[in-house]
Chain A
Amino acid sequence: MKSQTGLLFALPALIVLFMLIAYPVAYTGLLSVTDAKGNFSGLDNFAAVLKPKVTVQAFINTIYWVFGSIVFQVVLGTLTAILLNQSFFGRGALRAITLIPWVVPGIVAATTWAWMFHTEFGIINYMLTGTGVLQNPIGWLTNKDTVMPVLIAINVWKLFPFVAIMVLAGLQSIPNDLYEAARVDGATFWEEVWYIMLPSVRPVITAVTLLLVIWGLNSITIIYAITRGGPANKTLITPIQIFRSAFESFQFNQAAALSVIFFAVTIVVVFIYIKVLSAQPGEAK
């Protein structure tokens, strides 16, 4: 009786969840094994999306994009948090300013950065050539060697404040006594960082990194707004390939097949990540 009452209360939420999550996932699965007319087509769609080289390239680009972004987001975010945790004049203002990139809408940030990196009219080339650092302007977003690093830099700029603010919250929960004990024990500032701060905020960094992995794998806004995956597919990551395949080429079944593959790979990556990190001993809990 009691369990039925509980179910009754949970039912509205469950129905919403089913409609918003379970149904689309299941329908994507169905689309991936049917053709455009709705006939069962087996693994044809999977074969069709895996055959072109662009799929492999998009997958490699995705790894490059996610891994490159996360390393710098976490390192820069953590260093910023450590800086913002020190006491100095203007700390409150700096904390607020640091948050700006995160609160700026993705599309606004992407468009602004696209203009700033513009080969002819961008302020970055203007400053670099004006000061004599560069002889000739660089086609940041058109050169195949610079475009991905630039997009990663923009993505890092956009999300490192999130890491900083989360890690800062973690740092602020460390009792002052621990720093003082470390100082009495003879620790320098960087030894305090290495032996006290970082181990204490490790659970925070773990959780934040997991979020960054998920967001990185899902991210479309910055790349799509700036390069749409170009030039020559150099910045085409799988989510954009899926998006373009579905909404530009209207190949919904192939897009669904690619989604299913991507979904499976993502689950495996996240699963391994959680397993590896939760197996670490001595984590502050």
Chain B
Amino acid sequence: MGSVSIRNARKSYGALEILHGVSIDIADGEFVILVGPSGCGKSTLLRMIAGLEEISGGEIAIDGKVVNSLPPKARDIAMVFQSYALYPHMTVEQNMGFSLKLARAGKDEINQRVGKAATVLGLDPYLKRYPRHLSGGQRQRVAMGRAMVRDPKVFLFDEPLSNLDAKLRVQMRSEIKQNHQRLKTTMIYVTHDQIEAMTMADRIVVMHDGVVEQIGTPLDLYDRPANLFVAGFIGSPAMNLLGGKVADGAFIAADGTRIALDRAVPDSASATLGVRPEHFRLDPNGIPAEILTVEPTGAETQVLMRLAGHEVMGVFRERLTVGPGENLRVSPETGSLHLFDATTGQRIER
């Protein structure tokens, strides 16, 4: 079927190395999302899997077969581009059936497969239209349909939702996820939007500066980020990171504020404590914090506070009636603290 194995893949342009040996194993039928900031090499890696970029080192295998030197069409993959890359002079029907036409499939077969994909994607009324007559969401669906009619081993998505407005993006996100559940085909999806990654993926690969920082399920990454980069990247609003040290089983912030740790960790002269915004609780005996801004969203209240010498974000379920300049007392939830070695950036386990 459609497993993908990436072994120590490297990519360089001249002397400049973009990917520094990336290894990922993707199981058949899995939905894996490559996520990371701009320039981290995620799109390059996807294009290497597609065969649109040469592989400078290492190997990529699809379904056990090394594809390093195979052209895109021989890899049995389909790709959805950020710009959708629909052929402007072809109708929706012709766009979707183009790959079959090139493969010399019969007219009946093309019609049947295009028809089937169009029905699944709700594109039946638009088959005779040209891409310029479609909305962004419809174009996205056509791009998806063009990939579906090929029945490939692996679907590749290169930031397919980034050109859509926020509302449509949420809708298309769930459509893509439903399609994955229906098709059960391996999907590799690139995005810089960690919300997309969290909501859609079976597993997330976090990339940064051409290396893989962590691979895991969305909740794995959220609950146990392997390093400071993942901790800061996954989650919105981002995790609060406080600099300080560990001494006598407690974290001592730079300004001397003492935060009791919920587990035994060895003393360390430089450590970073991570607390997610929603893991602060109002506590009359907690750490004093000065309120900087209050942002009620209805369901919750986001409060930017100055705590232990740092600006930290807290998210509270309560409807707070406090304002800027006032003080709160808060404490982090037990069992929810993340501790990192400030020098290596790696997570400190117990």
Chain A positions near chain B (C-beta within 8 angstroms): 175, 177-178, 180-187, 191, 195-196, 199-200, 202, 282-285
Partner of A184, one of B50, B83, B86: B50
B73 and A184 contacting across the interface, CB-CB below 8 Å: yes
Cβ B89 vs Cβ A175 within 8 A: no
Interface residue SS majority, chain A: helix
B103 touches A186 (CB 8 A): yes
Q: Are B99 and A185 neighbours in the complex by a CB distance under 8 Å?
A: yes
* Given A185-B73, A186-B102, also A195-B87 (CB < 8 A): yes
- Whether A175 pairs with B83 at a CB distance below 8 angstroms is yes
Q: Tell me whether B77 and A184 are in contact (CB under 8 A).
A: yes
Contact B91 A282 (CB under 8 A): yes
Residues B99-128 near A (CB distance < 8 A): 99, 102-103
Taken together as a complex, chains A and B put the C-alpha atoms of A175 and B90 apart, in Å, by: 15
A191 CB to nearest B CB, Å: 6
Given known pairs A180-B52, A184-B72, A186-B73, the reply for A200 and B88 (CB within 8 Å) is: yes
Docked complex Cα distance between A177 and B99 (Å): 15
Whether, in the assembled complex, B132 has its beta carbon less than 8 Å from a beta carbon of chain A, the answer is yes
Query: Quick check: A282 and B102 within 8 Å, CB to CB?
Result: no
Instruction: Please give, as numbers and ranges, the residues of chain B lying within 8 Å of A187 by CB-CB distance.
Output: 73, 102
B contact patch SS: loop
B102→A191 contact, CB < 8 A: yes
The 5 closest A-B pairs by CB, nearest first: A186-B73, A177-B85, A181-B85, A185-B99, A199-B89
B102 touches A177 (CB 8 A): no
Known: A181-B146, A185-B99. 7 other contacts (CB 8 A): A175-B83, A177-B83, A178-B85, A180-B72, A181-B79, A284-B89, A285-B132
Smallest Cβ-Cβ distance to A199: which chain B residue: B89
Given A178-B87, A282-B90, A185–B81 Cβ distance below 8 Å? no
> Considering the complex, which residues of chain B in the window 53-103 have a beta carbon less than 8 Å from any beta carbon of chain A?
71-73, 77-79, 81-83, 85-91, 98-99, 102-103
B85 touches A180 (CB 8 A): yes
How far is A199 from B91 in the complex, measured between Cα atoms in Å? 13
A183–B51 alpha-carbon span in the complex (Å): 9
Complex interface: chain A residues within 8 A of B98 (CB)? 182, 185, 195
Q: Quick one: which of B12-64 are within 8 Å of A by CB?
A: 50-52
Q: Check if A284 sits within 8 Å of B102, measured CB to CB.
A: no
Residue B130 at the chain A interface, CB threshold 8 Å: yes
Closest Cβ neighbor of A196 among chain B residues? B87
B81/A180 in contact, CB under 8 A:
yes
Q: How far, in whole Å, are A185 and B89 apart by their CA atoms in the complex?
A: 16
The CA-CA distance from A239 to B211 in the complex, in Å, is 71
Closest to B81 in A: A177
Minimum CB–CB distance from A131 to chain B (whole Å) comes to 42
Query: Distance (Å) between the CB of A282 and the closest chain B CB?
Result: 5
Q: What residue in chain A is nearest B156 (Cβ atoms)?
A: A184
Q: Is the CB of A185 within 8 A of B102?
A: yes
Q: Which residues of B contact A182 (CB under 8 A)?
A: 87, 98
Given contacts A177-B81, A191-B102, contact A183 B87 (CB under 8 A): no
Q: What are 17 residue pairs bridging A and B, where the CB atoms are less than 8 Å apart in the complex?
A: A180-B52, A180-B81, A180-B85, A181-B81, A181-B146, A182-B87, A182-B98, A183-B51, A183-B73, A184-B78, A185-B73, A185-B98, A185-B102, A186-B99, A186-B103, A191-B102, A200-B88
